[in-house]
Structures are given as C-alpha cells and as structure tokens.
Amino acid sequence: MDQKEDRSCVFCEIVAGGAKAHRIIEDEMSLAILDINPFSRGHCLVIPKRHVPWWHDLTEEEVESLFRVARTVSQKMMRAYAPDFVAIYARGRRIPHTHIFLVPTYDGDVLDRFFNALEGFQEGTAELAKLKGDEELVKAADRLRKA
C-alpha cells in the first residue's frame, strides 16, 4: 500500500488486508465494507484507503471517490433490500479514520426513530429556536463566507 497507513487503526489494517472484513466494492482510493455492528441488514461503511481522521481533510479526488463508492453501494442496497431510503452520515469519533455510514432504513426502525427524535429536538428547543431567526442566520452565513 503506497498511501500512509496507521497500523494501530482497524480500518488501515482492513485496507492492508491484515484484518478481516466483508468487502463490497472498492476503487483505487476507497473501500466499502459491511459494518460489523449493523443497524440493519446491509449496513456498510465507506472508508478512504489513506488514513485521514476527518473527512474535510481528504483531497478532492478522495472525496469524489468516497462519494462515488457510497452512491454505488447505496444503489446496490436499494436493489438488494428495497429500504425506504439509505441514511448516510459521517462520524469518525470512535474510530479516528474517516468513514461514511450507509444504512438501509425503513419507516419506524431504530435509525428512522433516532432521526425523527433529533429533528424534533432541532425544531423544539428554545436554545436552537434562537438560531433560526433571520438576524442569527445572516450572522452565521456572513461568518461562514468570511472564514
């Protein structure tokens, strides 16, 4: 493997072939594997082959690869399992190697309930309600544009 790897990282070990994984598809820069702690049948992780803790530190080419592989796997999930949708989110806190979760999701399942609860929290708290006022939105947009 010619890209930087971290032998203490389970995902780097998988990429290098030193740890077991159920590989789904891969290209030169990314690999899709089944998650060993799935939220539903077919739950996959898409990882860059290079050890990069945070997705926003990937190169443009790696981002393109990561999302191209994620789209292909999501299409496979739709054909194989016919979920209502495929949830996609990035995490990386527990395992500091960028990874995208792809989870076939159905109405009322654990992930659907979680995101419904999260949306309810987002819409219903006084603290977050302050953030959706026009003045706050203008400030946030301006701050992000200048950063």
Instruction: Give catalytic residues, as residue numbers.
Output: 99
N- to C-terminal Cα separation, the chain:
36
Q: Which residue type sits at 82?
A: A
Measured between alpha carbons, how far is residue 125 from residues 11, 17, 111, 128, 136 in Å? Answer: 37, 47, 21, 5, 16
Query: How far, CA to CA in Å, does 128 sit from each of 113, 137, 140?
Result: 20, 12, 13
